Amino acid sequence: MEQRSVAVETVFEPVSPPTTFEETVERLGKAIRLGLLGPGSQLPPERELAGQLGISRSTLRQAILTLVQSGHLISLRGRAGGTFVADEPPLASADVAAPSAAAMRAILDYRVAIETGAAMLAAERARARDLAQMQSCVDKMAAAQRFTAYRRADMRFHVALAEAARSPRLVAAMTEVQADMSQLISLIAHPEAVLTRSNAQHARLVAALERGDATRAVKVAREHLAGTEHILVGLMPFSQAEAPRRKG
């Protein structure tokens, strides 16, 4: 069996009562949107998955049905049947309203703290397989013909950065940040020039990590995040008075 990454392992940790159904839906839905459970991948058998999550099989069935109805999963019957991630699951929840300026600012500030910290530690701790994973994501983004494919590789890149930092708590925080960012990004257009520039920054970050240059890695990460902030502020459906601005 293929060894799971730290990020994927967290998907299958036991959930907490009394909201086992809701947390299971959130846990699996978020993992699918972030690409931790990739399109076409099969979930473990019902008995095994229920045991891993520490929930009843009836609760698991309800959660899976919810995710099938939302377009995240598909269930197939027969000898080759099972529960699979949809080929094109939704990247963000439907009908999401634009956040307030304060809410958006809070998400972006939290992202700066998590991503720059991850970049610093990854420069010190990244292993060859971490760098290979990140470079693979860069290559997938470069080859992507549609934004959904680009965004899935983009999310996986940032989670891989946290994994390279060798900190499970950072991985958990990064998955939270990327889920929040997907909701924001779903509200704007995705110009090709912006995506190309963003991926070039990804590539420069990988190069800095390969050299073990923490100062450069943090600088590139911060530039990348600032660029995303500018695009969001420019394209988000805020009024001019509401647009979140950073002081200084």
Q: What is the pLDDT of residues 25-42, one digit of tens each?
A: 878 887 887 778 888 999
Give the per-residue pLDDT at 1: 39
Strand partners, 84: 42, 74
Give the pLDDT mean for 131-145.
97
Q: pTM to 2 decimals?
A: 0.73
Strands 82-85 and 73-76: antiparallel
Q: Which DSSP letter does residue 84 get? A: E
- The pLDDT of residue 237 is above 70: no
Q: How far apart are CA 217 and CA 42, in angstroms?
A: 35
Residue 127: count other Cβ atoms within 10 Å of its Cβ.
Answer: 12
More confident residue, 244 or 50: 50
E strands, the chain, in order: 73-76, 82-85
pLDDT of residue 29: 84
Above 90 in pLDDT, residue 11? no
What does the pLDDT average to over 52-61?
92
- Checking if the pLDDT of 229 tops 70, the result is yes
Buried b (16+ CB within 10 A) or exposed e, 198-233: bbebbbbbbebbeeeebebbbbbbeebbeebbebbb
- Least trusted range by pLDDT, from 15-29, 144-158, 197-211: 15-29
Instruction: State the Cα–Cα distance between residues 204 and 210, nearest whole angstrom.
Output: 10
- Tell me which range, 14-18, 225-229, 239-243, is most confidently predicted by mean pLDDT: 225-229
Sign of the dihedral defined by the CA atoms of residues 211, 216, 221, 223, in that order? negative
Q: Are 214 and 124 in contact (CB under 8 A)?
A: yes
For the segment 179-191, what is each residue's pLDDT rounded down to a tens digit?
999 989 888 878 8
Q: What are phi and psi of 75, to 5 degrees?
A: -115, 130
pLDDT of 247 reads 46
Kindly compute the dihedral angle of the four CA atoms of residues 141, 147, 148, 150, in this order, to the nearest 10 degrees: 10
Domains and CATH numbers, the chain: 6-85 (1.10.10.10), 101-235 (1.20.120.530)
